[in-house]
A and B are shown apart, each in its own frame.
Chain A
Amino acid sequence: MSAPPRRKQVVNITGLLVLLALPAVALAVGEPFLIGVATRIVIAALAALSLDLILGYGGMVSFGHAAFLGIGAYVVGILAHHDIENTLIPFLPGTWHGTTAALVQWPLAVLASALFALVTGALCLRTSGVYFIMVTLAFAQMLYHFFVSLPAYGGHDGINLWQRSAVPGADLSDDWIFYYVCLFILLAVLAVLSRIVNSRFGMVLQGCKQNEARLAALGIATGRYKLAAYTLAGAIAGLAGALTANQTEFVGPSLMHWSRSGEILVMLILGGIGTLYGAVAGAATFLALEEILTSLTEHWMLFLGPILVFVVLFARRGIYGWLVGPESGDD
């Protein structure tokens, strides 16, 4: 309503500058591998962001978010696989060849995960609360086991990509360029989502989280709005999956293991639910901690646990909520 508090702007701009400068800093300190870490952060932030849309604003706790990542990644992987082998894509009517063109791969990745979200969401959203968590988890695990037992695409071992997606005018195998492409996508999605959550659609979505029965009693068919949000979240996570496949140049079922869904949830809780920016802060904190703690001990989860408990107990609104201070409510 009122002008957003200044502290929030300072935090956001600082965050943006840090993200923009990361590759240069990595180079300056003589640790170019940090560009890879930064890329992972940006991609994970995209996934956490999509979860925040349905969880933070719609109150839908999805524990199967990794499934969308997996689908997005497998679309890229499968298309690249058939391109290299020069074979036709099976199971489809007509003749379809593989490709490495990002302009084909990425939109298809988005479409496929959106479609999966639409179909499974229509079923999952018949439930709520704990049941919703369990059903989303069940769908993700089904998909995980499906790809584990699919020898055509490597089963457990997955698919190795020989190159990143081809973008006209840019060479994604250059880590700098790839990082800035990912960052651009993250910022674009962030900008669009921050409009969506405050639009009419967003108000209905937030209403679903606060008091869905009231919304129905006012005459709003809540189901279709939740399903639309769920589908949009699936689409964004699918894009994150396509980028993940490019980043690691590998696609395997481990991408959609339930522990991956858990990681995304942890990132979001760590960063702050229902703020969008918190998803970015959470992904950065989680992966930075992982990087630092794994260099000290292989039992790094042992240290992450207490940190998470501390954040949940003492900074209810997550790291981002703590950074921007208590005076900033919703924007």
Chain B
Amino acid sequence: MTEPILEVSGLTKFFGAVAASDALTFAVERGSIHGLIGPNGAGKSTTIAQLSGELRPDAGRIRFAGADITAWPVHRRAHAGLQRSYQITSLFPDFTAAENVALAVQARQGHSFRFLAPARRTPSLREPALAVLGRLGLAAKADEPASRLGHGEQRQLELAMVLATRPTMLLLDEPTAGMSRTESRRMMGILRPLKGKVTILLVEHDMDVVFALADAITVLVKGKAIVTGPPAEVRANEDVRRAYLGNY
């Protein structure tokens, strides 16, 4: 058993009287794909936002790669290798696909206080960007503005940006949301080879995707983790069936 890369303990977040995270505790093994599922309003997106640093928890601790990151700002967590994608695609709409990814490469390479050399013609930015776009099948769209890409392509572009930072762990918030069956399958084809290289916390509505990819699954109900375990165990769990899978 290896040491977990991400440890969440006692994470609590209230919105008024509603507990979006209620003493939430779970751990993610290094190199695994870890599914985070639960019915609507279970607090999945709130969990991701607290892990990425966009929301401050009211209580609890988050440890990532051996460091307590609970108080770290968003950019510091990201720079440490904990990257996220958004449920609603979040891009730089006026930039081309290549420029979007190049900005992610820039983020990885350290500070951007370089004022004179034209960034678009800097090979150390453009080449890695094109390489990642190629891997995700977007090479032909490199010089299209992001806003003119199709929905599925935009979701792939966001993943390309995130991967271009060479993350150690990804927080993916419904990467197949709004995708067609074909696009969804292609996304799975992109995610599967990452297993073992990049740790992934996968929030997903599509149960086929989660059960096909995940090594372990945490089921969230009303901000609490009711079970964490391998897919087969989770599928067989009575509490999970009652809370969630009964209507699936």
Contacts and interface: CB of A to CB of B under 8 A. Distances in A.
Interface of A: 1, 195-196, 198-204, 206-207, 210-211, 213-222, 225, 228, 329-330
11 contacts: A199-B116, A201-B113, A202-B119, A204-B112, A213-B90, A215-B103, A216-B75, A217-B54, A217-B83, A218-B104, A222-B75
Contacts of B114: 199-201
Interface in B89-107: 90-96, 99, 102-104, 106-107
Contact of B78 (A1, A200, A217, A329): A217
Nearest to A225: B112
Central interface residue in A211, A213, A225, by most chain B CB within 10 Å: A211
Of all A-B residue pairs in the complex, the 7 with the closest CB atoms, nearest first, are A219-B78, A219-B79, A218-B107, A200-B112, A219-B107, A200-B114, A216-B74
Contacts of B90: 211, 213-214, 217
B120 interface: yes
Interface residues of B, number: 41
A218 B78 contact: yes
A117 B123 CA distance: 34
A213 B54 contact: yes
A203 B108 CA distance: 14
A204 B161 CA distance: 14
A214 B91 contact: yes
B115 interface: yes
* Most A Cβ at <10 Å: residue of B106, B112, B116, B143: B112
A207 B114 CA distance: 15
A1 B96 contact: yes
A199 B115 contact: yes
Given A204-B103, A210-B94, A219-B107, A198 B78 contact: no
A204 B106 contact: yes
A201 B112 contact: yes
Given A1-B96, A195-B118, A216-B78, A211 B91 contact: yes
Contacts of B91: 211, 214
B1 interface: no
Q: Which of A199, A225, A329 has its CB near the most chain B CB atoms (within 10 A)?
A: A199
B116 A218 contact: no
B120 A1 contact: yes
A97 B107 CA distance: 47
